[in-house]
Structure 1
């Protein structure tokens, strides 16, 4: 098969590309330029898409003996991921930009361009597995649960899975680094990227404030009492405790958390920890990694990347899914994603639009 190997400049995508060559495919390495003003050097493990990263990817491609190209997708990334991120926070929601990037860039824009150029598939360094099942290719968790990335791939549909390869899913991260060193790759010990790639310093609040400007407002208790002030409700998320700067402590000394963000009034609502527990999740924009489920089904529900999996019952109705958790989850924010599993198989995902409590904490 003719395969485009997405090469970020890191160790994972380097080994993934090499493994595709070893498997006998005709491979071309592609680095996605996603920044309109890429930094020359990486300052830390945060961020990506620097000129240094592109150079690292090119050196690996030369070592493996495959052609290498840089595809400029900065404008598409800005529109589909960065601007979506800002709009979601402005609306009081907490998005996961990695899911949006996978959905709209790596497995939409990249795959579409690859197919248009006559390639058959795309390979990436994600930690996940594709298994041939009775109804076609299935997406499963990786062997290395500490690195499993199936959650952020839950937006892929059956057609995209049919044209995707994840060569690292059966291997642990330490083994990948050992393999990279054995192959003579200079990136064998390169630190992993983490957090939001386009916020290199990790300061999401500061980044949003620079984009949106300060928008002072009140932080109120659940009874409406003003207990503090903020410079922009967009910088807060449900479940947050640090950085609230509350001026009025509770009489009982209990810690308070963000329990609601109300963009219409530019208000942040705080309350006690018990108010964070929810057991009902409603999601929209459902994406199914295969045939859409019919009726009620038992699933495992994961509510954040690398978060725990909750036993649950899901009911799908078109692009809407309702998930009833067996136990309460804490600090779930609208805008995050719920990804549904059947054992290790990814059933699909949806963007959380609402949460609630169906019953008392005691059951």
Structure 2
């Protein structure tokens, strides 16, 4: 490591994207160090014996890539902050009848906070990751977060939690490339990640069985409760609110009283009740967002705003009205179905991710 030049830390996972992020920076002459976090290694029912993004094999691959690129490599234990910042809020969210996305807290509290501070402590000036997004410097000195060149791999939705201070110290080297291009580039460099399969599951949940995970690790006991209609009639019994999602149609143990399908409309955790109704009851044109984070705040009169309410979801034209206390009223131009409390609502202007927040309970 050349201590006289700026140092960039690369968050490594043993996967294609982070490995290519490191390779691209090293080839540009950037002095890099590789850091990999051990996030979860606790064994038990419903939990992966090792975190899927920091298994022993992944550590070996990440270290091999770092060695090949001539980078120092650090494996750091982040299990305790990960548990407190990601796993426990995930469990609490379901206990409150919400639909949490743990990747948001992981990026906000762990990757671009805990890890960034760790990297700065090692003497790095910024942190590079393998996220598929782009960063742009603006004339006023701020930074904007843009969608990736590969729309099928864009990850701006889960990075909507970042602030200007974090963006100022973040680099996203792979955001201008498509996945096939990155695989070809890895093969050309003989990196052992070119054909590595992506993991799409929650990294700390075994076999992607989040229901079992919650049943085994939530302090709240699983209790059956009533299934009620919008009109208030009890028509069945659910087997625990955590087993159902807003908009779910299949798996409802209820008698068929009409030809019209029934869907989960909302959860009432205070009453331990599951509310069902017709598809039209799921339609939402207006909802509230809380804990809003603005990367770059839009003008209230901006006519080109869109909202995305699911990862990989499509853009819905909208208007926004700020309500104070980091709250926003979202007015959609077309109805959406299955908008669930706890989901992230992320706002865009074209390819620019402006920020986002969490759908509030009705």
TM-score, scaled to structure 2: 0.92
Q: 1:199 to 1:72 in 2, by over 3 A?
A: same
Q: What pairs with 1:36-115 in structure 2 (closer than 5 Å)?
A: 36-37=41-42, 47-115=52-120
The farther-off stretch of 140-149 and 117-126 is 117-126
Give the conservation status (yes or no) of the 8 Å contact 1:208–1:235.
no
Superposition deviation, residue 38 in structure 1: 7.2
SS at 2:29's partner residue? Answer: coil
Q: Which runs of 5+ in 1 are unaligned?
A: 356-363
Specify the alignment match of 1:236 in structure 2. 244
Deviation >3 Å, runs of 4+: 292-298
1:226 counterpart residue number: 234
- Distance (Å, rounded) in 2 between the aligned partners of 1:257 and 1:282: 22
| In 2: Cα distance, 1:218 partner to 1:147 partner | 40
- TM-superposition CA deviations, 1:156-206 (whole Å, max 9, x none): 011111110111111101111111111111121111010211113111112
- Measured against aligned partners, the alpha-carbon deviations of 1:72-92 in whole angstroms (never above 9, x if no partner) come to 111101111000000001001
| Structure 2 CA distance for aligned equivalents of residues 310 and 302 of structure 1 | 6
Shift, 1:333, TM fit: 0.2
Task: Give how far 1:30 is off.
Answer: 0.6
CA contact (8 A) 1:297 1:315 kept: no
Q: Using the alignment, how far apart are the partners of 1:333 and 1:294 within structure 2?
A: 26
Unaligned runs of 5+ in 2: 1-5
Q: Secondary structure at the match of 1:187?
A: coil
Aligned to 2:222: 214
Instruction: Give distance in 1, aligned partners of 2:34 and 2:19.
Output: 9
8 A Cα contact 1:256 1:271, kept in partner: yes
1:302 aligns with 2:311: no
Equivalent-residue separation in structure 2 for 1:220 and 1:156 (angstroms): 40
Q: Spell out, residue by residue over 1:338-357, the C-alpha distance to the aligned partner (whole angstroms, 9 max, x if none).
A: 111111111111111046xx
Once the 2 structures are TM-superposed, how far is the Cα of residue 218 of structure 1 from its aligned partner?
1.6
Matched, 1:183 2:189: yes
Alignment of 1:329-348 (within 5 A): 329-348=336-355
Does 2:357 align with 1:350? yes
Aligned equivalents of 2:182, 2:235: Cα separation in 1: 50
Q: Could you tell me how far 1:293 is from its partner in structure 2? A: 4.0
Structure 1: distance between partners of 2:257 and 2:313: 30
1:2 aligns with 7
User: Paired residue for 2:284?
Assistant: 278
What is the alpha-carbon root mean square deviation over aligned residues?
1.7
CA deviation map 1:244-287 (0-9, x unaligned): 2x231132x21111101011111111111111110112111111
Helix, strand or coil for the counterpart of 1:297? coil
2:204 aligned to 198, 206, 213, which one?
A: 198
1:265 to 2:263 alignment = no
Query: Could you say which residue in structure 2 is the equivalent of 1:249?
Result: 256
Q: Secondary structure at the match of 1:260?
A: strand
Shift of 1:229: 1.8
Cα 1:49–1:241 shift into 2, 3 Å? farther
Report the alpha carbon displacement of residue 294 of structure 1 after superposing the two structures with TM.
5.3
1:302-340 per-residue CA deviation (whole Å, 9 max, x = no partner) reads 111000110011123351111111111110100001111
Deviation sequence 1:69-119 (CA, Å, 0-9, x none): 111111101111000000001001001111111011001111122223321
Question: Matched residue of 2:287: which SS?
Answer: strand
